[in-house]
């Protein structure tokens, strides 16, 4: 809360002219993230490689030292359903992910976390913030991040390599559309993609990746970059004719219920996800302060 008081003397009397203004300012407001990878919605599509190097790890990275351990993968149901229906949907999604991580030569032991089971996939419905459970709540997250963005791309983007923030100077980066990354690309802070995130090669990121919109992450080809922080994938885009939430993330293009999120990994390589609470905090702190309310006070 910032308060400013101005007092101006009147040359002909002792009466003073006064004016007081208050501003409420905040950095980007994100709810706590319940897992290394959070999949919001029913029937998630998950494909992962047979690589012995690739994995998702929910235990807090040792270099951080905070021991804020999480499940490797957390599933969330649609909060617009009844409580029982929401929980059942999250449980069904959990089963879908476990099946994907336990068949076809995949290495289930590479998906570990707080509960010790492998693969560590948990229904996190009972602990997740409600914002992560509904299209409206997730849309609020999108717009909170958009309002705090330091770099915004208004359409589809392709990066052959480069940086999207560093640990010393993290950035809030928003792409309103699809993002394709190749080569040696790295970043720190918060990355929000409202379309499809496609990457190959050595893409590494420290912080929070939010793929909220069409809700698709697709890696093709191997690489050795990895994510240290947390990732959320959610499909909240309307499928109505003419709707295009990815390029125009407004309520008019918002679905009434959660759609199916997709985490697709085709090929080998060591790209993986390691939960890191320090980098999650780094993402939270990467935004500049923005004004969320202003008022004049009679004084």
pLDDT in tens, 111-123: 999 988 899 999 9
Residue 272 has pLDDT above 90, yes or no: no
Q: Which residue has the tokens 């992450």?
A: 217
- 159-186 tens-digit pLDDT: 888 899 999 999 999 999 999 988 788 9
Q: Residue 292 has what pLDDT?
A: 67
Let me know: does 76 contact 124? Beta carbons within 8 Å: yes
Residue 15 has pLDDT above 80, yes or no: no
Q: Is 97 helix (H, G, I), strand (E, B) or coil?
A: helix
- Which residue from 141, 131, 136, 31 is spatially nearest to 76, judged by alpha carbons? 131
Q: List the domain boundaries for the chain.
A: 28-288
Instruction: Mention every residue, 6+ apart, whose C-beta is less than 8 A from residue 4.
Output: 20, 21, 22, 23
Q: Is 279 helix (H, G, I), strand (E, B) or coil?
A: helix
Handedness of CA 162, 147, 209, 207 (dihedral sign): positive
Q: Residue 13 has what pLDDT?
A: 60
**Banded model confidence at residue 260, pLDDT cuts 50, 70, 90:** very high
The torsion region of residue 116 among left (phi > 0), alpha (psi -120 to 50) and beta comes to: left
Residue 129 has pLDDT above 80, yes or no: yes
- Stretch 142-153: mean pLDDT: 93
- 227-237 and 254-259: which strand pairing? antiparallel
Between 46 and 293, the higher pLDDT residue: 46
DSSP-assigned letter for residue 21: E
Residues in a beta bridge with 190: 172, 208
- 183-235 tens-digit pLDDT: 788 999 999 999 999 988 788 999 999 999 999 999 876 666 789 999 999 99
Q: Which residue has the tokens 């998702």?
A: 56
**Banded model confidence at residue 280, pLDDT cuts 50, 70, 90:** very high
Q: Which residue has the tokens 């928003």?
A: 174
């Amino acid at each position: 809360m910032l308060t400013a008081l101005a007092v101006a003397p009147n040359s002909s009397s002792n009466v003073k002219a006064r004016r007081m203004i208050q501003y409420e300012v905040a950095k980007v407001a994100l709810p706590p993230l319940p897992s290394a990878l959070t999949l919001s919605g029913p029937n998630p599509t998950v494909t992962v490689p047979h690589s012995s190097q690739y994995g998702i790890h929910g235990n807090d990275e040792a270099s951080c030292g905070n021991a804020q351990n999480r499940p490797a993968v957390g599933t969330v149901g649609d909060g617009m359903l009844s409580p029982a229906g929401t929980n059942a949907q999250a449980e069904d999604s959990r089963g879908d992910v476990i099946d994907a991580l336990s068949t076809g030569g995949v290495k289930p032991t590479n998906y570990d976390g707080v509960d010790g089971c492998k693969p560590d996939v948990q229904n996190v419905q009972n602990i997740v913030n409600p914002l992560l459970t509904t299209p409206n709540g997730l849309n609020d997250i999108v717009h909170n991040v958009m309002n705090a963005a330091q770099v915004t791309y208004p359409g589809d983007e392709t990066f052959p390599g480069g940086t999207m923030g560093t640990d010393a100077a993290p950035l809030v980066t928003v792409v309103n559309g699809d993002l394709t990354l190749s080569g040696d690309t790295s970043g720190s802070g918060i990355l929000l993609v409202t379309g499809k995130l496609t990457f190959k090669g050595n893409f590494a990121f420290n912080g929070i990746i939010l793929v909220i919109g069409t809700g698709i992450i697709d890696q093709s080809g191997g690489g050795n970059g990895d994510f240290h922080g947390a990732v959320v994938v959610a499909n909240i885009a309307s499928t109505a004719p003419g709707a295009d939430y990815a390029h125009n993330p407004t309520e008019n293009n918002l679905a009434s219920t959660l759609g199916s999120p997709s985490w697709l990994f085709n090929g080998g390589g060591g790209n993986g996800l390691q939960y890191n609470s320090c980098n999650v905090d780094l993402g939270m702190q990467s935004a500049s302060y923005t004004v969320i309310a202003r008022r004049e006070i009679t004084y």
